[in-house]
Chain A
Amino acid sequence: MIDLQGYGPRLLEGALVTIELALLSLVVAIILGLLTASAKMSRSWLLHKIGTLYTTIIRGVPDLVLMLLLFFGGQIGINMITDWLYDRFDIDIFINVNEFAAGVITIGLIFGAYMAETFRGAFMAVDNGQIEAGRAYGMSERLMFRRIRFPQMMRHALPGLSNNWMVLLKTTALVSIIGLTDMVRVAAEASKATHEPFTFLIPVAIIYLLIASVSEWIFARLQKRYNVGFGEADEWNN
């Protein structure tokens, strides 16, 4: 077994931070993605423009630059807003940005843009007849979303979703640059302190591979679940 020189527990904690960060930002990204996809598909001109602006800018700028901007600029920006609130309305609040929360929001914000594109394509791929049938049954918009649009959209969205998740997982490594103690940061610190980079960086790489392999397996099962009822139809068509 490799000698981790006492860094073992910290490395494990870091791995937990990485996984928590990735899962929470995935949730934020999916919610933002669904909202943005609806905005881009809505009839409102303004909502459409806002959605397009958001996805275009986020996807055109490196993740790291956005992270640096939101991390270093975020606190100053919030202070400016709270100062303004104090001056104007005499409301005295102080918000201190927690590093972990900032990481979740930043990564969620970045991947919300990618998710939006995935969801938009998937929603458009749902057969219009299905929605008409739902309407003919007198379903409300919400019920239709829950029973018809969402389950059928997921079938088309899953490959893109799984792809985005893999990229998101790897992007979490960047928070180590900004100061969050994820497993990459622990490994980088340990390798500088002990002059044994391989001992720490290679296990971290293996953990990333493991998480990726497990999620690949989960997505394969989900894909099967959401494809129920379509396998036979495809066989008929061939």
Chain B
Amino acid sequence: MEQLSAWFTQLLADNSIFTARTLGYYGDGLVTTVQLVFLSLVIGLVIAVPLSIARGSKRKWIKMPIFFFTYVFRGTPLLIQLYIIYYGVVFIDGIQESWLWVILEEPFYPALIAFTLNTVAYTTEIFHGAIKATSKGEIEAARAYGMSKSLMMRRIILPSAFRRALPAYGNEVIFMLHASAIASVVTIMDLTGAARLVYARFYAPFDAFLFVAALYLCLTFAILYLFRYLEKRMLVHLRPQS
């Protein structure tokens, strides 16, 4: 024990890496990561809900393009999608003269677009599966009440589908947090970007990356507990009664 504490004090005394400055890098990185993940998830959710309803449409010309979109975005690496958008955006005709360029010039926005499209694809499939799993009895009951299709969607199908989708969506949120690490590839200073900067400056891979790994672990657990709490609240009716 004494040896351990001696070793620990030695470690802290020798610390030249975790100064206020480097901790500042990590702090800024944390803000960027959270911004990027939160924004892409919120925008993605808003787009994915109508898409998941349309994905279950009987009309082929509505269903097929959405299926194609989710197939492509779920079947290719996010890194490729990010590269295509990040390097490709310059080549859209006239974009550099338009007002959009002010936004797209920074790497943050191409990354946000790539992440959003990616999470839209996954979330659409998750919700589509949950909608499809609605029990027939519920729909029959709604029909027996003379509900219109949209009313049935709003009052019966979507509320129960969202609840059923909750565990899978929680996984998607964690997946998004982990996927956001690749933002550092296009020069964004997110958490991983900060760690790479610290690594490059001090040539200390263990300190730089273990610290950032611990931060990601904390974030992951925070999301995990949030979703566990939500599931507990919203899936009360599914718990076995004892």
Contact = CB atoms under 8 A, between A and B. Distances in A.
Contact of B178 (A62, A68, A72, A197): A62
Contacts of A162: none
By size class, the interface of chain B is: 35 or more
B83 A201 contact: yes
Contacts of B209: 65, 68-69, 72-73
Interface string A71-110: 0110011000000000000000000000000000000000
B216 A64 contact: no
B169 interface: no
Nearest to A176: B79
B229 to A, nearest CB: 18
* A interface, over-half SS: helix
A127 B112 CA distance: 47
A197 B89 CA distance: 10
Interface residues of A, number: 38
B80 A65 contact: no
B186 to A, nearest CB: 11
A187 B72 CA distance: 18
B75 A65 contact: no
B181 A209 contact: no
Q: Which of B184, B195, B209, B212 has the largest count of A CB atoms less than 10 A from its CB?
A: B209
Contacts of A61: 178, 213, 216-217, 220
Contacts of A209: 71-72, 75-76
A226 B212 CA distance: 42
B179 interface: yes
A187 B82 CA distance: 13
B7 interface: no
Contact of B75 (A171, A201, A212): A212
A57 B80 contact: no
A197 B90 CA distance: 10
Contacts of A231: none
B125 to A, nearest CB: 12
Contacts of B91: 197-198
Contacts of B95: none
Interface string B12-47: 000000000000000000000000000000000000
Contacts of A171: 77
Interface in B50-102: 71-72, 75-81, 83-84, 87-88, 91
Contact of A177 (B80, B177, B182, B212): B182
Contacts of A173: 77, 79-80
A72 B213 CA distance: 14
A62 B76 CA distance: 18
Given A205-B80, A209-B76, A68 B192 contact: yes
16 contacts: A61-B178, A61-B217, A63-B181, A65-B192, A65-B209, A65-B216, A69-B205, A69-B213, A72-B199, A72-B205, A76-B206, A171-B77, A174-B182, A197-B87, A204-B80, A208-B75
Please name the 7 residue pairs, one residue from A and one from B, whose CB atoms are nearest each other, closest first: A173-B77, A197-B87, A73-B205, A62-B181, A69-B209, A62-B178, A72-B205
Interface of A: 57, 59-66, 68-69, 72-73, 76-77, 166, 170-174, 176-177, 184, 187-188, 191-192, 197-198, 201-202, 204-205, 208-209, 212-213
